[in-house]
């Protein structure tokens, strides 16, 4: 079946492109102004509000399957120059368009399915993108780290119903920061200035009801470098529903820096 990649920022879109090239699978790549970080000649660029043009492009190329990969910064609605189809979608989405990411994304996926597209997961195209419960690294969390992880899980699960936060940084029971719209990289940078001497853990899990097809929590080599630079000691991720970009490289770097990675 003809496949299209809706590409955002980060390394995941490039990995999907490389996987499709290696498998000889044709791939149409769509990106967005100010969002997609691939080389400009690697995709066709649209504005986020050009829903009608995007649908026409997909159908003209006989696309039947769509995969989403990479981060998309959610703009204010006032920033969007919606075309007629975008306005129609906005009206159909109704209150979902003004709520959290989970509701908005589920609404968009429903509309794409109504247009006849099948949404597939990045993990359907890439091996070892998610991992199971357990310690992936040579280093292991201490008893204090495990307590911080547990506190982080309680906090994220408490916030989940409000569709807020995929990540939190906890040190010695203190919450240094909770991820909001800024993303995990900015969270780590912000919390590095608040860190006390000692440990500190990043906990990152999917929210309750979060789509398993798009917008899963993601960690990778860049996350490991940031954790090391900030002086924290490890990462706990939600097993089975967190994407690990370049898994082997991520684990290798963590071992080099004596950081732990644990699936919970």
Separation of alpha carbons 149 and 136, rounded Å: 16
Whether pLDDT at 210 is above 80 = no
Same domain? For 259 and 148 the reply is yes
Does residue 42 or residue 94 have the better pLDDT? 42
CATH of the domain at 120: 3.40.50.20
Q: What is the mean pLDDT of the segment spanning 201-229?
A: 85
Same domain? For 105 and 138 the reply is no
Whether pLDDT at 220 is above 60 = yes
Indicate the pTM of the whole model: 0.80
Q: Which of 94, 124, 154 is the last residue of a domain?
A: 124
Domain-embedded: residue 256: yes
Provide the pLDDT for residue 231.
96
Provide the pLDDT for residue 250.
95
Q: Which of 124, 146, 179 is the last residue of a domain?
A: 124
Domain-embedded: residue 203: yes
**Mean pLDDT taken over the chain:** 88
Contacts of 224 (CB under 8 A, 6+ apart): 235, 250, 253, 254, 257, 259, 261
Total tally of structural domains belonging to the chain = 2
Q: What is the mean pLDDT of the segment spanning 56-77?
A: 87
Separation of alpha carbons 255 and 181, rounded Å: 30
Same domain? For 207 and 226 the reply is yes
Q: Which of 87, 104, 124 is the last residue of a domain?
A: 124
Q: What is the mean pLDDT of the segment spanning 59-88?
A: 83
Provide the pLDDT for residue 215.
66
Using alpha carbons, list the distances in angstroms from residue 53 to 34, 46, 56, 75, 89: 18, 8, 5, 19, 13
Contacts of 104 (CB under 8 A, 6+ apart): 74, 93, 96, 97
Domain-embedded: residue 129: no
CATH of the domain at 255: 3.40.140.80
Same domain? For 196 and 229 the reply is yes
Q: Which domain holds residue 229?
A: 134-263
Contact 245, 220 (CB under 8 A): yes
Same domain? For 113 and 145 the reply is no
Separation of alpha carbons 166 and 1, rounded Å: 33
Q: pLDDT digits over 80-111, tens only?
A: 778 888 888 878 876 665 555 556 667 777 88
Q: What is the mean pLDDT of the segment spanning 129-150?
A: 93
Domain-embedded: residue 39: yes
Same domain? For 120 and 138 the reply is no
Q: What is the mean pLDDT of the segment spanning 228-236?
A: 97
Same domain? For 55 and 141 the reply is no
Domain-embedded: residue 140: yes
Whether pLDDT at 251 is above 60 = yes
């Amino acid at each position: 079946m003809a496949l299209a990649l809706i590409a955002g920022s980060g390394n995941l879109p490039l990995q999907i492109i490389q996987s499709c090239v290696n498998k000889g699978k044709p791939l149409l790549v769509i990106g967005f102004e100010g969002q997609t970080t691939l080389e400009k000649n690697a995709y066709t660029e649209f504005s986020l509000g050009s829903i009608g043009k995007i649908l026409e492009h997909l159908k003209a190329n006989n696309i039947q399957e769509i995969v989403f990969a990479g981060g998309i910064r959610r703009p204010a609605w006032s920033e969007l120059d919606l075309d007629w189809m975008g306005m129609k979608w906005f009206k159909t989405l109704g209150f979902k368009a003004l709520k959290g990411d989970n509701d908005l994304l589920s609404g968009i996926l429903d509309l794409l399915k109504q247009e006849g597209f099948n949404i597939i997961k990045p993990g359907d195209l890439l091996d070892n993108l998610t991992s199971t419960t357990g310690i992936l690294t040579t280093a292991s969390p201490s008893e204090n780290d495990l307590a911080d992880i547990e506190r982080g899980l309680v906090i994220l699960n408490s916030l989940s119903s409000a569709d807020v936060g995929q990540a939190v940084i906890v040190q010695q029971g203190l919450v240094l920061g909770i991820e909001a719209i800024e993303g995990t990289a900015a969270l780590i940078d912000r919390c590095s200035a608040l860190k006390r001497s000692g440990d500190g853990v990043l906990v990152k899990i999917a929210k309750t009801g979060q789509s398993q097809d798009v917008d899963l929590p993601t960690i990778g080599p860049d996350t490991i470098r940031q954790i090391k630079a900030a002086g924290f000691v490890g990462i706990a991720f939600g097993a089975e529903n967190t994407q690990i970009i370049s898994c082997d490289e991520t684990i290798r770097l963590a071992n080099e820096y004596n950081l732990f990675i644990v699936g919970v």
